[in-house]
Structure 1
Amino acid sequence: MNIEYSTIFLYIAGIIFLFFLGRIFAGPMKVVARLIGSSILGGIVIFVLNLIGSFFNFCIALNFITSFIVGTLGIPGICLIIALQYILKA
């Protein structure tokens, strides 16, 4: 079994390259994961708000944009969505 040193060197260089490439993309992926997590949490909040609001004939549309706004902004996001719903309904 005869393996040349250049082949071993290229394997090591490839592994190092993949390591640095992974480190470069790890930062933005953390931000994307955090935004997706907050959107899911916002969707859960809107779902619970719709369950409670069904007794008062109140409903907020559950889609990606509203869940993203509520998940990112929190309580001010809920107030913003409710205010926009009443402003645009008139």
Structure 2
Amino acid sequence: MSPTTILAYLAGLLLLYIVGMLLVIPIRILIKLLINGIIGGVVLFFFNLIGGLFGTTIAINPLNAIIVGVLGVPGVILLLILQLLL
């Protein structure tokens, strides 16, 4: 094999690695967002159990679950303030 062929193979492998990483990173972000959304839905469920005693509930939908999943407790407070204002 000539050195040009070896360099071409190495360049091809490097390009394949770069393309693979570009495809893996968005999938990793989507999986993290999905897991955070599920956790947010669970948090909203428990908030509605406790808040139901006081007459305050927040609807559980995908947008609210993602907001709570990403922001955590401040997300619950944000949704509560938005519900009280609107």
- State TM-score, norm by structure 1: 0.72
Q: Which residue of 1 aligns with 2:41?
A: 43
Structure 1 or 2, whichever has the larger Rg, is 1
SS of 1:65's partner is helix
Partner of 1:9: none
Query: In structure 1, what is the Cα distance between the partners aligned to 2:75 and 2:22?
Result: 32
Q: Deviation of residue 75 (structure 1)? A: 1.2
* Equivalent of residue 54 in structure 1, options 52, 55, 59: 52
CA distance in 1, matches of 2:20, 2:46: 38
| CA deviation profile, 1:50-83 (whole Å, cap 9, x unmatched) | 0111111111000011111111011111111000
Q: Specify every segment of 5 or more residues in structure 1 that has no aligned partner in the other structure, as ranges.
A: 1-15
Letter in 1 for 2:32: R
Aligned residues: 72
Q: 1:28 aligns with which of 26, 29, 48?
A: 26
Q: Which residue of the partner structure matches residue 76 of structure 1?
A: 74
Identical residues among aligned pairs (%) = 38
Structure 1 outlier segments of 4+, above 6 Å: none
* RMSD of Structure 2 on Structure 1 (CA): 1.7
